Chain A
Amino acid sequence: MVKFPEKIPDSLARLLVVFLALVAAGAFVVLVVIPRPMKDVRLQWADDIKREQAKPVRYAGFHVCVECHGEIYEMKKKGYHRDLSCETCHGPAKAHTEDPDKVKPVIPAQRAFCPLCHAYNPSRPRGFPQINPVVHNPLKACASCHNPHDPKPPTTPKDCSACHGEIARTKAVSHHVMLACTTCHEVPRQHKISPRSVKPSKPQTREFCGKCHAKDARDKMAKDAPRVDLSEHGEKYVCWQCHYPHSPEVEN
């Protein structure tokens, strides 16, 4: 029989003792000292679950409203506000659905409400309908012209500037001031009524601008237009990669 201490080097034996002591101490704490329920997440969750369950339900969801407000429900479903839930505007209405005569949801009739979503803000997605609340038909309630459950412009706007104010204002002080929007965009009538489903055309080719700017351009508006050699100028790129069409500028 080999003698134990001879097989294992002295230093290793000492280290092993220390390590085993540490492991044993750790195991003792984890397995024995900490009571079993403490290691169970259910214990940690139990209070949370109770607390959450005890909270009153405040929102009913918009499908409930159809029972009693069927007309509004159907109307909203087809309009631009179809993605908004009723309670986004009317606030939590669970209590109202249970006792409609006693509890009434808020009606956000004041003018300050709609601009929360519709006031001009550069961080809103492109094409999101926005207005400047200070100049957009001031003093009157929004609902007096737009039905909040089926919002659309009450009358068909005559000018593009009603909705494209920024472009119109830019163009008005540019070299293209004399050009109507429709010179470059073909606008179907429907665009002014449902702008997002019917879109106007946009120029596609270099030749389009060439109508007035090519060396041999003959358009009646082309008289005063400065000329460039279409085959060379700007290489293969379309013109509006370098010139903003609504405010073309040339730095000399």
Chain B
Amino acid sequence: MNHDLMRQLAEILPRIQGFIYPNEIEIHWGMLIVVYPYITGVVAGAFILASLVKVFNVKEVQPLYRLSLLTALAYLLVAPMALVSHLGHPERFYEILLTPNTSSAMAMFGFVYAWYLMAVLLLEIWFVHRMDMIALAEQHRGAMRFVYRALSLYSRDTSERAVAFDHSALKVITIVGIPSAFLLHGYVGFIFGSVKANPWWSSVLIPIVFLFSAIVSGIALVILLYMIINPLAGGKINMKCVDKAVDFLFYAVIVDFSLEMVDFIHRVYQSEEEIKILSEMVMNKLFLSLVVIQVLLGMLLPLTLISITKIFRKRFGASEDLRKMVYFLSVLLIQFGIFATRWNVVIGGQMFSKSFRGLTTYKMEFGGLEGLLYALGLLILPLVILTVLLKILPPWKEMKELRGGAAGGGLETAGS
């Protein structure tokens, strides 16, 4: 054996336990692929929250409506960046759009994405803000005026008929949008669930689990953003709205948790040949991220916290500040929990050998395209984009709305 090989082995071997095939030592789907399902999850979840207002007529959460649409857009713009950066040749990504391969789910990503972006999200945002943009164009001079004119596609029709049309168009788009949001994130789960050779991923439940965790993360994030941004913009937090949103979050977490439990019990009961290595992986390699962060801190603790506010309704009903604190802590914990979920799926699926006889370790880089720094950048970027979007299409009027329940009246634009 030559010296170079020995040196490489000496570096690699401490990462390995038991027997592992040579091509499994290094984990190829790293941090970026963890970030990607997390971000698309937020998109789908935020959109579902928005559709609560439009389709299911939940008036209480009206103040979150525009915020959640803009959040969805900001995150959606960043989602493909994670994927494209992960490609060996990012500059060639457009080629899979030009020569579509319909038999590969991964190659169809561009179309699922484009459908969702163009046919759903941008359309809905455009219709919601059309009247605003016309009004804003009047108020501004110079370059901004031009921007608003262009954004509104030079539309000037403010007649009653046009507004009525905006309303019905919104309804249709949202109804098409819900299955599309399901498609977008179900698709991400499908990619993992259909990897036959990988027992950690291969499960028909995965798309559905992904979907519900997406809803959880999206709703939680919008609540979190609302609780931070609204006071910064000089508004007061509308507790009726937050209470209602947290209600939905609570049920979504319960469904998500039950689904994950079903998946878990199913695996343990079936006890197929891989169960030994998987349980070893969970108990050693993923203990912190799965048992502690995902399940205990990311699900059970927030569930308990929110349940407490419900059980001791009198005590918590009296004090909004106390409730705010509990909610804030819960949605924050849930964010970390969902991120850990993505981590456990993506990294976990590559940590055990397909010989079921060994484990490897994920060694995260710091710099570089696959590194921690870049991933953090991608996680912060949507917030930057959101800030810009909030500047261009300010939702303040709606967000600061305190009456909540009152059918959104008083807002003369289509979004109400």
What is A's interface to B at a CB cutoff of 8 Å? 9-12, 14-15, 17-19, 22, 29-30, 34, 38-39, 121-123
- B123 near A123 with CB under 8 A, answer no
Q: How many residues of B are counted as interface, with CB atoms below 8 angstroms from the partner's CB atoms?
A: 22
Q: Which one of B19, B126, B161, B357 lies within 8 Å of A15 (CB-CB)?
A: B126
B30 to chain A, nearest CB (A): 26
In addition to A14-B154, A123-B358, 4 A-B residue pairs with Cβ atoms within 8 Å of each other are A10-B155, A11-B130, A19-B118, A123-B355
Give CA–CA (A22, B115) in the complex, Å.
13
- A11 near B19 with CB under 8 A, answer no
Q: Which residue of A lies closest to B353 (CB)?
A: A123
- A39 near B355 with CB under 8 A, answer no
- B169 near A14 with CB under 8 A, answer no
Contacting residues of chain B (149-189) with chain A, CB-CB under 8 angstroms: 153-157, 161-162, 165-166, 169
Q: Hey, which chain B residues are within 8 Å of A10, CB to CB?
A: 155-157, 162
With A38-B99, A39-B99, A123-B19 in contact, is A12–B357 under 8 Å at CB? no
Give CA–CA (A145, B107) in the complex, Å.
57
B276 to chain A, nearest CB (A): 13
Let me know if B127 is at the binding interface, CB within 8 A: yes
Top 8 A-B pairs ranked by shortest CB distance? A123-B19, A10-B157, A14-B153, A9-B165, A123-B357, A14-B155, A39-B99, A11-B155
What is B's interface to A at a CB cutoff of 8 Å? 18-19, 98-99, 118, 123, 126-127, 130, 153-157, 161-162, 165-166, 169, 355, 357-358
Q: Which residue of B lies closest to A123 (CB)?
A: B19
- B154 near A11 with CB under 8 A, answer no
- B165 near A12 with CB under 8 A, answer yes
Q: Which residue of B lies closest to A19 (CB)?
A: B118
Q: Which residue of B lies closest to A22 (CB)?
A: B118
Give CA–CA (A93, B99) in the complex, Å.
43
Q: Which residue of A lies closest to B153 (CB)?
A: A14
Q: Which one of A12, A14, A17, A30 lies within 8 Å of B98 (CB-CB)?
A: A30
Give CA–CA (A251, B205) in the complex, Å.
44
- B127 near A11 with CB under 8 A, answer yes
With A9-B165, A12-B169 in contact, is A123–B154 under 8 Å at CB? no
Q: Hey, which chain B residues are within 8 Å of A39, CB to CB?
A: 98-99
Give CA–CA (A29, B162) in the complex, Å.
35
Give CA–CA (A155, B182) in the complex, Å.
69
Q: Hey, which chain B residues are within 8 Å of A34, CB to CB?
A: 98-99
- A11 near B162 with CB under 8 A, answer yes
- B153 near A18 with CB under 8 A, answer yes
Give CA–CA (A10, B169) in the complex, Å.
13
Q: 24 A-B pairs, CB-CB below 8 angstroms?
A: A9-B157, A9-B161, A9-B162, A10-B157, A10-B162, A11-B127, A11-B153, A11-B165, A12-B165, A14-B153, A14-B155, A17-B153, A18-B153, A29-B98, A34-B98, A34-B99, A38-B99, A39-B98, A39-B99, A121-B19, A123-B18, A123-B19, A123-B355, A123-B358
A104 to chain B, nearest CB (A): 26
- B166 near A11 with CB under 8 A, answer yes
Q: Which residue of B lies closest to A124 (CB)?
A: B19
- B18 near A15 with CB under 8 A, answer no
Q: Hey, which chain A residues are within 8 Å of B357, CB to CB?
A: 123
A239 to chain B, nearest CB (A): 24
B149 to chain A, nearest CB (A): 12
- A11 near B157 with CB under 8 A, answer yes
B121 to chain A, nearest CB (A): 14
- A15 near B154 with CB under 8 A, answer no
Q: Which of A10, A14, A22, A121 has the most CB of B within 10 A?
A: A10
Q: Hey, which chain A residues are within 8 Å of B18, CB to CB?
A: 123
Q: Hey, which chain A residues are within 8 Å of B166, CB to CB?
A: 11
Give CA–CA (A9, B357) in the complex, Å.
65
Q: Which residue of A lies closest to B166 (CB)?
A: A11
Give CA–CA (A14, B118) in the complex, Å.
15
Give CA–CA (A9, B161) in the complex, Å.
8
Give CA–CA (A34, B127) in the complex, Å.
35
A184 to chain B, nearest CB (A): 28
Q: Hey, which chain A residues are within 8 Å of B123, CB to CB?
A: 15
Q: Which residue of A lies closest to B164 (CB)?
A: A9
Q: Hey, which chain A residues are within 8 Å of B19, CB to CB?
A: 121-123
Q: Hey, which chain A residues are within 8 Å of B154, CB to CB?
A: 14
A38 to chain B, nearest CB (A): 7
Q: Hey, which chain B residues are within 8 Å of A19, CB to CB?
A: 118
A11 to chain B, nearest CB (A): 5
Q: Hey, which chain A residues are within 8 Å of B169, CB to CB?
A: 11-12
A160 to chain B, nearest CB (A): 27
